[in-house]
């Protein structure tokens, strides 16, 4: 098949989170399986084309116009001529709903369009208790309109499928669930290739990695740390990720305020490339991911692939990755007392931690990209076949 993946986020320049991770992993895996794959991503600089392994990445200039909804629409509109410049007749175009980058292509119909649900803006607004202004209502409408007009809809977990089905009144059977994936071998290789930073040598620590923001539950973790530090005087807490702020101030500042005089036991790193990140994760005694709600959780699978026991939260996509007490641990989201209790109990039982770590490593293999790519390709082929008569009529 000839496949185009739309992803404004794409490593390294515009890598923000799961959308970029999914696109890079899946693009390479589909190309390795014999499909022709092109990616269209954003850049702050001039439009250009680069090669990422077997995948050409066409960088399209991200406009600086305002308001935000107009900027997203202008970018979506520019995708049509960008695709026309690529010398390839696509069988499928797939993009995320977030930011509605496929909204224009759902109208002009270059090829069958599939929307992969990542995390719709309404989910973020709900988690952050955001009071939507007019521009956000427009973006929410654009994301919904793109999804409804798509030939296929899929997502990574039943948790997100059910949430979107209910809010956008999409029949649940229209949304296919195919788990996200990671390249296990690449994660392990990069962990082995890198080195733990000097300031972590000889340090026992618990690790959080991901964006430092409210919906990731970092504030909940901050409230749990004093009791952890009191119980284990030699254990530190390592945070790795971009600080997006917490209620008007830096998240780091909020965390340090909560731990008070124990602030020297909190160690912060900004975004790290995987060659530097994965050694940090692998050396942790425990990984904590206290999200208030998570559609999937790439970081969870990455930590498990590195043989790390993970404490995550229940009631969202983590439930479909972690079996509580077997391949990891689940606690109630937003409950700092439950989180601190679980961290303290886990660190007290090294034998149980080792058993969970082994089961986590085994469970992570279920999300190997090559395996999941077969399911994605089969789904693309079904959607393309079903949409072909309609596309022929349009053309």
**Strand pairing class (55-61; 48-52):** antiparallel
Q: Which residues contact 175 (CB under 8 A, 6 or more apart)?
A: 117, 153, 154, 155, 161, 164, 165
Comparing CA positions, the residue from 55, 60, 50, 49 lying closest to residue 27 is: 55
Q: Find where tokens 């050396």 sit.
A: 283
Distance, in Å, from the CA atom of 119 to the CA atom of 188, rounded to the nearest integer, reads 27
Range of the domain at 110: 2-181+369-394
Q: Are 42 and 177 within one domain?
A: yes
**Cβ pair 208, 395 in contact under 8 A:** no
Ordered per-residue pLDDT tens for the chain, 395 residues: 999 999 999 988 877 778 998 999 999 999 999 999 999 999 999 899 999 999 999 999 999 888 888 999 999 999 999 999 999 999 999 999 999 999 999 999 889 999 999 989 888 888 776 655 555 789 999 999 999 999 999 999 999 999 999 999 999 999 999 999 999 999 999 999 999 999 999 999 999 999 999 999 999 999 999 999 999 999 999 999 999 999 999 999 999 999 999 999 999 999 898 999 999 999 999 999 999 999 999 999 999 999 999 999 999 999 999 999 999 999 999 999 999 999 999 999 999 999 999 999 999 999 999 999 999 999 999 999 998 666 655 55
- 286 lies in the same domain as 386: no
Q: How many domains is the chain partitioned into structurally?
A: 2
In whole angstroms, what is the distance from residue 112 CA to residue 151 CA? 6
Q: What radius of gyration do the chain's Cα atoms show?
A: 21
Same domain for 131 and 206?
Answer: no
Same domain membership, residue 198 and residue 310: yes
DSSP 3-state assignment of 255? helix
Tell me: do 14 and 125 sit in the same domain.
yes
Nearest alpha-carbon partner for 24 in 272, 216, 274? 274
> Which residue, among 350, 369, 336, has the nearest Cα to 285 in the 3D structure?
350
Number of H helices, E strands in the chain: 14, 16
Do 335 and 388 fall within a single domain?
no
What is the reported pLDDT for 251? 97
Residues 374 and 357 placed together within one structural domain of the fold: no
In angstroms, the CA 114 to CA 102 distance is 9
Specify the pLDDT at position 17.
Answer: 75
Give the pTM.
0.89
What confidence score (pLDDT) does residue 25 get? 92
Supply the CATH number for residue 131's domain: 3.40.50.2000
Query: What tokens does 82 get?
Result: 């960008």
Mapped onto helix, strand or coil, the DSSP state of residue 347 is helix
């Amino acid at each position: 098949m000839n496949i185009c993946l739309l992803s404004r986020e794409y490593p390294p320049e515009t890598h923000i989170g799961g959308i970029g991770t999914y696109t890079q992993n899946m693009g390479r895996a589909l190309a390795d399986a014999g499909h022709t794959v092109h990616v269209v991503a954003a850049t702050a600089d001039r439009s250009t084309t680069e090669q990422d392994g077997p995948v050409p990445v066409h960088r399209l200039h991200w406009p600086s116009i305002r308001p935000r909804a107009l900027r997203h629409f202008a970018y979506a509109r520019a995708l049509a001529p960008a695709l026309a410049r690529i010398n390839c007749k696509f069988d499928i175009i797939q993009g995320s709903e977030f930011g509605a980058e496929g909204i224009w292509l759902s109208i002009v119909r270059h090829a069958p369009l599939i929307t992969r649900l990542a995390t719709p803006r309404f989910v973020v607004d709900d988690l952050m208790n955001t009071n939507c202004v007019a521009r956000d209502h427009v973006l929410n409408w654009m994301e919904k309109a793109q999804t409804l007009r798509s030939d296929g809809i899929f997502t990574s977990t039943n948790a997100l499928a059910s949430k979107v089905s209910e809010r956008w009144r999409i029949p649940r059977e229209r949304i296919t669930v195919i788990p996200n994936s990671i390249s296990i071998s690449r994660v392990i290789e990069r962990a082995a290739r890198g080195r733990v930073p000097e300031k972590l040598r000889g340090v026992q620590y618990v690790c959080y990695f991901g964006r430092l923001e409210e919906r990731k539950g970092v504030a909940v973790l901050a409230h749990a740390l004093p009791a952890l530090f009191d119980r284990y005087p030699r254990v530190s807490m390592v945070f790795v990720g971009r600080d997006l702020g917490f209620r008007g101030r830096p998240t780091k500042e909020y965390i340090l305020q909560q731990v008070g005089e124990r602030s020297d036991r909190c160690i912060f790193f900004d975004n790290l490339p995987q060659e530097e990140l994965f050694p940090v994760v692998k050396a942790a005694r425990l990984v904590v991911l206290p999200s208030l709600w998570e559609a999937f959780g790439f970081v969870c699978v990455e930590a498990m692939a590195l043989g790390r026991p993970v404490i995550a939260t229940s009631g969202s996509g983590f439930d479909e990755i972690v079996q509580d007490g077997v391949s990891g641990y689940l606690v109630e989201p937003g409950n700092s007392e439950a989180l601190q209790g679980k961290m303290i109990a886990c660190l007290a039982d090294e034998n149980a931690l080792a058993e969970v770590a082994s089961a986590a490593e085994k469970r992570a293999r279920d999300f190997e990209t090559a395996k999941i790519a077969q399911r994605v390709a089969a789904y693309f082929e079904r959607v393309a076949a079903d949409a072909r008569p309609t596309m022929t009529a349009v053309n």
